[in-house]
Amino acid sequence: MQYGYFDNENREYVIDRVDVPVSWTNYIGVKDMCGVLNHTAGGYLFYKTPEYHRITRFRPNGVPMDRPGHYVYLRDDDTGEYWSISWQPVGKPLDQARYECRHGLSYSRYLCDYNDIKAEQTLFIPIEDPVELWDVKLHNSSGRERRLSVFSYCEFSFHHIEMDNKNHQMSLYASGSSFEDGIIQYDLFYEEDGYQFFTSNFTPDGYDCVRDTFLGSYRTETNPLAVERGECSGSTELGGNHCAVLHKKLVLQDGEDARLIFMLGEQGQENGKAMRKKYSDATYVDNCFAELAAFWDDKLSQLQIHTPNEGMNTMLNIWTLYQSEINVMFSRFASFIEVGGRTGLGYRDTAQDAMTVPHSNPQKCRQRIIELLRGLVTQGYGLHLFQPEWFDTQVKKQSFKSPTVVPTPDKNQIVHGLKDTCADDALWLIASIAEYIKETGEFSLLDEVVTYADGGSGTVYEHMTKILDFSTEQVGEHGICKGLRADWNDCLNLGGGESAMVSFLHYWALEYFIELADHIGKTDDALKYGAIAKNVKTVSQEVLWDGKWYARGITSKGRKIGVHSDVEGRVHLESNTWAVLSGVAGNEHGKQCMDSVDEYLYTPYGLMLVAPAYQTPDDDIGFVTRVYRGVKENGAVFSHSNPWAWAAEAKLGRGSRAMKFYDALCPYNQNDKIEIRQSEPYSYCQFIMGKDHTAFGRARHPFMTGSGGWSYFAATRYLLGIRPDFNQLIIDPCIPADWEGFTAVRKWRGATYNITVQNPDGVEKGVKTVSLNGKCLDGIAVPQQPEGSENDVTIIMG
């Protein structure tokens, strides 16, 4: 069953059946202001941080689902009937009204056709200002004059998520609203910058700022009293809960259009006035919308592909890059699942995200890299979860101070010890830095001096050596890296034992580093770390190979897990994919272990993280044994880890297998299985229930997951094989044998490469010839071309 379709020409996903089983979300804003919105305009807005500066309120995990939102009500003033453009919250029966939601890149558009009135509401945030625009267009197609009322509605939030969800003895008396000259001002009086405004391009006929006055007692957003009556009360108050309602009465002749623009922005009255002036100009608003499209054009144009796989084209050309970018822009804690209560940056998640889009967002990747380097302690491990502001001397510290005393953590509390360290966290950063340099050529980044979280400073290069040295030192009695608190798998604690995954990651990071050190002439370091890498490889091969696949780790009690004698948790995805991806596994073991992955972990919805799922609680293994079978880390299709298998298969040269895995997870391919998948088909989700769960195939937690970035990274760099190196562009595809080829346009360091890959012999990997602008080259790489040049690259596989 499907609820919508991909409109690639407009780069939109169109939901034409709006009663989707769960919220289908989108993100608006590309800078400091961000809105998380669903297909019925439910959701919330924040400025810079969803933790401290929330603008509109959200009631997560609630009933009715995912409210409130940024709503527009329409009312027929002759009959008193009313409805909302985005279907909810009024929710007219779908056999009487037609609704559509178009989620685009950084905007969402809601359309409705009811009562012979066509209406649309587009929500977006212009690049240059922190102001959310609600661009509302109405058309009377009824053949007669109509008297209509339009009401905006959103509910303001206390800025701090804690304040908004508890401590109401304080927060309920700390915010106020006022109205003057068509502008609503909302304020949190005790905060220096605690102001927002709401205004419009018209002179309102009425307003309400007090939520409960607008809604009325024992009512919800579904049936607000003021809308029912067709009149607002002009309510404002100091204290209480606030909303932004502006009412406009319209008379529309047959065939007549109206356009109303609402603006919800940062700062109070004064700025509201300026913004009102600026954005009341509809042409200007159109230009801002066009600018946003151009912003995304530029990002997407860094790599566009045309392959025989339509799902892959749609995802990589539009949605997967978009998802990856959203993760880098807003980090992971702003969604309907994580509603902003967790702090700052997760070390490993951010490090991985930053690795995936240096071509389309080098500035933000660089910023993230620096933030993470500052969150590294001198011993070489990263702070698992931290606020980048803590270590940024340039940033004005949070002006918010809770009026009720909440002790501020001192340095010793911020800098955690080994007991809270996840052994993988900082290792990811080595690859992010190397990939950033490969993309941009900015080698000088390595010499930049950055502070450590616990004091002192060193160059970026020194930070990198500390990360590698930490893992070299932190090994257990079998010579495998300790997982410490946990490795990438948060739930697999091994009682603090040894983690195969971390040793493989260590090897992977070492290889990146050695290549870099070699390239910049640090030969001694290349040799030194080369010897370490050799040792990691030998020990890992000896200790972890289990006959047909690699063990997942060794618990603190010395028990190997993920081995053939295990009844539960026999085969794990992380260790096997990483054995290959890192380069530790040779060809033979590599192929064998990935065959085991195919045999034990494959499902039509992707690869499960582990099989059989655990069902006996065992704290020596970890929390994973207390997770329901088939859910999340315990045997779900944990999406983040699937692309590792695509990359591993590509390394082994098995393109058809890699594509089988790619296609299984690909959300596009589940567009017509929404009765099973439930979630958005345009976004990878954190996980899909595994075989051992009754809801096998149900996807959960869209957008904010490492699967976006990793899918993009693995599919573009390993399957399509297009990856920049320090001074050349490597093109080494691994594709299904039945592909006759594909084309791609890749921009790299200011030059454009029009790539044509031909596969006349039906191979899966291997490049016979490469030609650049008609001339044959040696090897599989194209040397960097001058900025501004257009280049034709032809690859013949064979």
Cβ-based neighbours of 165, under 8 Å, separated by 6 or more: 341
Query: Is 70 a residue that touches ligand GLC (CB under 6 A)?
Result: no
Stretch that binds ligand GLC, among 406-414, 468-476, 489-497, 585-593 (CB under 6 A): 489-497
Stretch that binds ligand GLC, among 385-393, 406-414, 488-496, 786-794 (CB under 6 A): 488-496
Give the count of beta carbons closer than 10 Å to the beta carbon of residue 751.
17
Site for ligand GLC in 81-140 (CB under 6 A): none
Closest distance between ligand GLC and the C-beta of residue 490, in Å? 4
Give dist(CA 70, CA 110) in Å, integer.
11
CA distance 696 to 637: 9
Given the residues 77, 205, 490, 725, the one annotated as active site? 490
Give the separation between CA 468 and CA 768, rounded to whole angstroms. 37
- Report in angstroms how near the CB of residue 4 gets to ligand GLC at its nearest: 26
Q: Measured between alpha carbons, how far is 764 from 577 in angstroms, rounded to an integer?
A: 19
* Range 686-715, binding ligand GLC (CB under 6 A): 686, 705
Could you tell me the smallest distance in angstroms from the CB atom of residue 178 to ligand GLC?
41
Nearest to residue 761, comparing CAs of 734, 719, 796? 796
Q: List all residues 6 or more positions away from 340 whose beta carbon is below 8 Å from its beta carbon.
A: 46, 49, 50, 51, 54, 161, 333, 334
Nearer to ligand GLC, 104 or 562 (CB): 562
* 200: its two tokens: 């419009």
- CB closest to ligand GLC, residue no: 490
- Answer for which of 82, 336, 488, 661 binds ligand GLC (CB under 6 A) is 488
DSSP 389: G
Cα dihedral sign for 504, 510, 513, 519? Answer: negative
CA distances from 775 to 388, 769, 772, 782, 793 (A): 49, 10, 5, 11, 9
254 is a catalytic site residue = no
Smallest distance, ligand GLC to C-beta of residue 684, A: 11
The DSSP annotation for 708-737 comes to HHHHHHHIIIIIS-EEE-SSEEEE--B--T
Instruction: Compute the least distance from the CB of residue 548 to ligand GLC, in Å.
Output: 25
CB nearer to ligand GLC: give 491 or 730: 491
Least distance in angstroms from the C-beta of 23 to ligand GLC: 19
Per CB under 6 A, contacts with ligand GLC among 329-368 are 346, 348-349
Backbone angles phi, psi at 120, to 5 degrees: -145, 150
Residues 6+ apart with CB under 8 A from 588: none
Q: For ligand GLC, give the closer residue by CB, 88 or 639.
A: 639
CB of 488 to ligand GLC, least distance (A): 4
DSSP character string of 302-371? TEEEE-S-HHHHHIIIIIHHHHHHHHHHH-SSBSSSSBS-S-SEEHHHHHHHHHH-TTT-HHHHHHHHHH
Instruction: Give yes or no for a contact between 211 and 241, defined as CB atoms under 8 angstroms apart.
Output: yes
Please, are residues 25 and 38 in contact by the beta-carbon 8 Å criterion? yes
Q: Which stretch binds ligand GLC (CB under 6 A): 93-101, 482-490, 509-517, 643-651?
A: 482-490
How many residues in the shown chain lie near ligand GLC by CB under 6 A?
11
CB of 624 to ligand GLC, least distance (A): 9
Under rule CB under 6 A, residue 489 binds ligand GLC: yes
C-beta of 348: minimal distance to ligand GLC in Å? 5
Decide whether 465 or 489 has the Cβ nearer to ligand GLC.
489
Nearer to ligand GLC, 352 or 671 (CB): 352
Q: Which is nearer to ligand GLC, 12 or 353 (CB)?
A: 353
Angle at 283 between CA 279 and CA 288, to 5 degrees: 65
625 binds ligand GLC (CB under 6 A): no
Classified as helix, coil or strand, 76 is: strand
| CA dist., res. 473 & res. 471, Å (int) | 5
Phi, psi (degrees; rounded to nearest 5) at 758: -115, 145
**Counting contacts by CB under 6 A, is residue 518 touching ligand GLC?**
no
Q: Binding ligand GLC by CB under 6 A: which of 205, 212, 490, 663? A: 490
The least distance separating ligand GLC from the CB of residue 638, rounded to whole angstroms, comes to 7
Residue with tokens 């502001």: 389
Is the distance from CB of 266 to CB of 49 less than 8 angstroms?
no
Residue number with CB closer to ligand GLC (265 or 622): 622
In this complex, which beta carbon is closest to ligand GLC, that of residue 267 or of residue 705?
A: 705
Our finding on whether 633 is near ligand GLC (CB under 6 A) is yes
Q: Which residues contact 735 (CB under 8 A, 6 or more apart)?
A: 307, 655, 659, 719, 720, 742, 757, 759, 764, 765, 797
For ligand GLC, the closer of residues 84 and 707 by Cβ is: 707
Instruction: Choose between 54 and 640: whose C-beta lies nearer to ligand GLC.
Output: 640
Question: By rule CB under 6 A, what string of x and - marks binding of each residue 647-686 to ligand GLC?
Answer: ---------------------------------------x
- Least CB distance to ligand GLC at residue 424 (A): 8
Report the residue number, 307 or 331, with the smaller CB distance to ligand GLC: 331
Instruction: For residue 601, give both structure tokens.
Output: 């972990």
* CA 360 from centre of chain: 14
Q: Where are the beta strands (DSSP E) in 145-233?
A: 146-153, 175-180, 183-188, 195-200, 206-210
Smallest separation, CB 409 to ligand GLC (Å): 22
At 635, the amino acid letter reads G
Write out the catalytic residue numbers. Answer: 490
Question: Would you tell me which residues interact with ligand GLC (CB under 6 A)?
Answer: 346, 348-349, 488-491, 633, 640, 686, 705
